[in-house]
Structure 1
Amino acid sequence: MTSGSGARRPGRLGVGIIGAGKVGAVLGAALRAADHAVIGVSAVSEASRERAEILLPDVPVLEIPEIIERSELVLIAVPDDALAEIVEGLAVLGAWQPGQLVAHTSGRFGISVLEPARRLGAIPLALHPAMTFTGMSLDLARLPDCSFGITAPAAVLPVAQALVVEMGAEPVVIEEAHRALYHAALVHASNHLVTITAQSTQLLSAIGVEQPDRMLGPLMRASLENALSAGEGALTGPVARGDTGTVEAHLTALKTQPSEDIRAAYRSLAVATARRAVERGLLSHAQGVAIAHALALDTLGTS
């Protein structure tokens, strides 16, 4: 393995990036800012090449086998479903090298997906940033507020932790067996928030609100901040109050809208909210039953 051109501080690595998507290019730039040398990046699409040019200027675009040959740390930032195939395919080619650090950025997987590389002597790491990425330089400013879910063999766990700290973020150890549940939690919090926002925006637009984002923004930001600081004690609204009549009115109004997914999401989340509110003593059992009954009737009415 070559260590790249130019002198580097002790402990600095020659880093190769497989996948100049939104995550790979940003993390490559963060590692470069920590004085690691990014020696090459793979970029297939025009968007990836442009992103690499902006975030990783002067870093050559190379073929994947050449990146692996030159790198002390290989960072694989590809879609989850492509990860195993890439790792196995490169193992078949004998590309992985003894003592080489191989890290992926998938939330779903731990280090078992890197087993083909480990069998050839590579050292597996899972470094998943718990953040959504735009693929632009503003992501670098967000890293100090970001946590990474990391998984690694015990002997090299400090290496994984150090890499995350060097990127300005906080490492949080996730056990191999818990990776899927860890990722589900993040997806539920992040992706479904986007869906809920889009659905609420659609409803407000349908009744003529011209800037629904200005109406929703302060409400949603305050709700999120309150929920993070006070947990479910921050819950407000008709379900938390046991206001069955208001819930029924909402369901009736939602029937006038063409998007059944909105009504289905409202029902499902209202049921989950009522159940959790009862379990935590925020709502009486009788109130919870009344809410659930109203929601069940609405479900039966759509069958």
Structure 2
Amino acid sequence: MEIYRPLLFTYAYNILGSVEEAEDLVQDVFFKYLKLDQSTIKNEKSYLSRMVINGAINLKKSSKSQKESYPGLWLPEPIDTENSEYEKKEILTYSLMILMEKLDPKQRAVFVLREAFDYSHEEISSTLEISQELSRQLLSRAKKNLKNETNQKELANNSLIVQNYIDAIHEGNIGSLEKLLKEDILVSSDGGGKASASRKTIIGLTDSIAMFMGLYKKFYKEAHLEFRQVNHQPAIFYYSPDGSLNNCQVFAVDKGQISHVYFIRNPDKLKNLEKKPH
């Protein structure tokens, strides 16, 4: 049973967008499974998968009201896909995790199973106990809502662009910075009410550059930083003098320019990332 934990976690995380909730759900499913008469279960992996996927759908439904009362912007919890102990290949990109918040939980589950795990509609209908026709309809609606803005299978290495971004800020080179950023760049911050963060998404070059330069001069000029990768996208980890992770910035890059920067400042969402790679 334990051998399936990484896979089951990935199902749950892609649907929930939370590491802690995904880990707790998998553990809860294991406890429930151990109380069952396992002699009647023909396929342990399939049974556990169904329990986790349907449990994640129900949990996502119940967490909607919590998101509505969340202080400021809510962003999914990122995962270090360079050093994670989980099944990294199927973990969705961070940009796609953001976009999937537009979907209802069942649409999200169908999209995850089809696009990330290559389930057939027959397998999806069996797992979610819906018809194959409904599975196709839910997938179609999901793709329409997402507008096919992100293709999980076309991941580019944009680390150099992010390195150039930091160099431009460090040098105070506004001209170079403007070339690296899209005209309609977005900047979103999640402090969770526990760390200072903008409560609204910042839009456009002028305000975004002012924010980047101001934060760098005030907080990050002397900070230790590492270039890493979370959810298959380039990221910068900023460490405080005491060695604790202060901030994680995730970058979406579109056609050679940075289109969206996500600031993760909520300490609860940094705990998992703070674990040093081996």
**Structure with greater helix share of residues:** 1
Q: Same fold (TM over 0.5)?
A: no
TM-score with structure 1 length normalisation? 0.25
Structure ranking higher in strand proportion: 2
Q: Which has the larger radius of gyration?
A: 1
Which structure would you say has the larger RCO, counting Cα contacts within 8 Å and 6 or more residues apart?
Answer: 2
